[in-house]
Structure 1
Amino acid sequence: MIPFVDLKSQYLSIKDEIDSAVLKVLESTQFVLGSEVKALEAEFASYCNADYGIAVNTGTSALHLALLAAGIGPGDEVITVPFTFVATTAAICYTGATPVFVDIDPITYTIDVNQIEAAITERTKAILPVHLYGQPADMAPIMEIARRHGLVVIEDAAQAHGAEYKGQRVGSIGDIGCFSFYPGKNLGAYGEGGMIVSNNPEYTHTMQMLRDWGQETRYHHILKGYNYRMDGIQGAILRVKLRYIEAWTEARRTHAAQYNQLLANSGLTTPVALPHNRHVYHVYAVRTTQREWLQQQLNQQEIQTGIHYPIPVHLQKAYADLSYQAGDFPHSELAAQQVLSLPMYPELTPTQVSTVAQSLQNLLQGVPA
């Protein structure tokens, strides 16, 4: 079996360090926030080349607080994409604002910057680009448009830890950057977790209060806040794992290069990493018109795959109230019908990558298993 992800192998490779870090928190009894979380905030902000880090309980909470700190609320509009995990849209709706979608670029799967200005209205307050699959969005024109129109830019970097755009780490390019530490992410907790980074001290102070019941000091509630605090154990685990993320990222990039080479003449569309981007391959998604059949056949050969994402948000029943229709965002809709995510994690071996690629080649050429 070649699993789609293999969290156990990664844990076993750093087991002694993880176990020691967890025991340290248990002995300290700092179970919520505490010194380990505070240290993680500083270390992860530094990793992103940002001034401040605010640790929270999920990536969704990170997006929610970022939007609130930027003053987004009822009556406002936030421009984003429909080809993303639903949390991007949900966080906008949590504030009472309205998501306004624009289509993706069919090559990068990130927001089509040429469509942004046409979507801006007098109610637009922010642009929320998604660095999907670990590929940075085209941030320079996004920032130029935002500054010209007086808009806030909040980066959804949930899948893009360590990704770079023209030498800049994602998360630190816009006004606020949001990350997820869901277990399967490039930097994953052993449970839920998230992080917000920013260079803006006012936004940071607001988000620090909002994540902890709106308190500035204990029992002094300045804002109507939330219980979005990170657990001490997750902070300790993530500090250990942060020391390995660069090596793990380079392993992912090596696997992607091997996939690209082996699948070059397969008939599949493989990911394109733009030359000015450092793509970190949270997901290695190919495109094919035979997705369901290929997935079924690979599963029979004990090769697990995934689909990210089969239904774009504008066609999800939960968001029918936004009144979008099939055909509104053709590139997002076609990608949703065709993408297939192959096994991708640092612990993959070259032999496993070769096995996956050869199986795909054989299936597409009609070679019996």
Structure 2
Amino acid sequence: MLSPRLEENKWDLPHSYGSMYGVEEAQAMLEVLNEWAPTNNKRVREYESRFSTFVGASYGVATNSWGGAAHLVAIMMDIKEGDEIIVPAMAMSATANIFVREGAKIVFAESNPRTFNIDVEKLEEKITSKTKAIIIVHMCGQPCDMDPIVDIARRHGLLLVQDAAHAPGAMYKGKGLGEFGDYVIYSFHQAKNICTLGEGGMVVTNNKEWAEKLKKLRGHGAGLYIGVSNRMTEIQAAVGLVQLDRIKTHTETRRRLSYYINEFIRDIDGLSTPYEISDVYHVYHLYNLLVDEKRLGMTKNELMRYLWKKRRIMAISYYPTVNCLPPYKELGHGEGECPITEEMAARAIALPMSPRYTEADIEEMVTGIRDVVNMRKKGLI
């Protein structure tokens, strides 16, 4: 049950996305406080071990954030001037930012308008003699089509990095994402499916030597490398361990509620429900919709505005394509670089999705959506 405060604001950020905490997390935190709150100790090691096993990898390196984990990977990649890294245009800017800061040239790739993931059929044409790595993003919690992506990376001798911030526990053909590629980077930010007190991250790998070096880099380089300091604290790991115990139940709740939304709104002309590919386990970090402005009678921005104004439902807009952001325009990117993805981003929104919700909550939300659509059709808004 939501507390009265959360019940009153249940469709508003930050209550409408992310995970949820309970008494168990509070007890775990108190145990760490009673030990004077050390950093990067036994709970971090346990969390690294259990989480990496959960996602199908051999080794995990916990950090203070997704960005902290990605920074370690970027250092490991030893990026040189002129090295190119392929990144999907549909992503959070962080997916590219870290690697640009390390000196990489970003090459943006198109995303598939049905899955929102990188378009495998258009991926290989982006590879040149300067390409060093491919970074993929499992958008909304749905795994990319890993078999052909792994094949492309291996045939061209490229590193394969997965941004799995949206996808803890997602599976491809019965396998965890940690079984594929070279590095997988996870986020435990407050909006994600697993949360560790607002921030947190982890990189997993199956290479023991890489894992050992990553841990040294995380702690200032341990006197052996020029490292950084982005360790995870014990209190974050303690909460993460409790969250990990909850993740399967939370994920099944997300999946059930997402399918419930599908049934309620699939007949609303102008709204396209998520497309789930076969042979994957989609964890529904986000519930994505595509808006057809002509058929619905309003733009996605109008829909979001009226949902909030009339029913206090906080739908959110997807990230604008990274190539169109001001700092990337300064680097020579811009509109028209990935036209399919840009058109898709202009139509994509996400509805509130959290394990906090019940089917009654979902019915309330969908009723609100229907009310707004009907008011628009009658010219009342």
Q: Do both share a fold (TM > 0.5)?
A: yes
Distance 1:264 1:144, change over 3 A: same
Q: For 2:279, which of 276, 283, 302 is the aligned residue? A: 276
Which 10-residue stretch deviates more, 61-70 or 329-338? 61-70
2:5 corresponding residue in structure 1: none
Q: For 2:72, which of 47, 65, 70 is the aligned residue? A: 65
1:362 corresponding residue in structure 2: 371
Distance 1:63 1:298, change over 3 A: same
Q: For 1:254, which of 245, 253, 256 is the aligned residue? A: 256
Distance 1:137 1:43, change over 3 A: same
2-structure distance, mates of 1:78, 1:110:
17
2-structure distance, mates of 1:10, 1:283:
12
SS at match of 1:244: helix
2:313 corresponding residue in structure 1: 303
Which 10-residue stretch deviates more, 60-69 or 186-195? 60-69
What amino acid is aligned across from residue 234 of structure 1 in structure 2?
A: Q
1:317 corresponding residue in structure 2: 326
Identity %: 34
Q: For 2:343, which of 334, 338, 347 is the aligned residue? A: 334
| Alpha-carbon contact 1:103-1:331 (below 8 Å) kept | yes
1-structure distance, mates of 2:228, 2:82:
22
| Alpha-carbon contact 2:185-2:204 (below 8 Å) kept | yes
SS at match of 2:317: coil
1:54 corresponding residue in structure 2: 61
2-structure distance, mates of 1:105, 1:326:
17
Runs of 4+ in structure 1 deviating by more than 2 angstroms, as ranges, are: 4-12, 70-75, 361-369
1:160 corresponding residue in structure 2: 167
1:349 corresponding residue in structure 2: 358
What amino acid is aligned across from residue 281 of structure 1 in structure 2?
A: Y
2-structure distance, mates of 1:271, 1:98:
32
Structure 1 residue 306: Cα displacement: 1.2
SS at match of 1:128: strand
1-structure distance, mates of 2:231, 2:197:
15
Structure 1 residue 299: Cα displacement: 0.7
Where does structure 2 lack aligned partners over 5 or more consecutive residues? 1-8, 294-298
Q: Summarize the alignment of residues 133-282 of structure 1 with structure 2, pairs less than 5 Å apart.
A: 133-215=140-222, 221-267=223-269, 268-282=271-285
2:11 corresponding residue in structure 1: 3
1-structure distance, mates of 2:287, 2:263:
13
| Alpha-carbon contact 1:2-1:343 (below 8 Å) kept | no
Structure 1 residue 322: Cα displacement: 3.0
Distance 1:96 1:254, change over 3 A: same
Structure 1 residue 11: Cα displacement: 4.7
What amino acid is aligned across from residue 11 of structure 2 in structure 1?
A: P
Structure 1 residue 8: Cα displacement: 11
Q: Please report the RMSD computed on the Cα atoms of aligned residues, expressed in angstroms.
A: 1.8
Structure 1 residue 51: Cα displacement: 0.5
| 1:209-262 per-position Cα deviation (integer Å, ceiling 9, x unaligned) | 1111111xxxxx111100111111101111111100000000000011011111
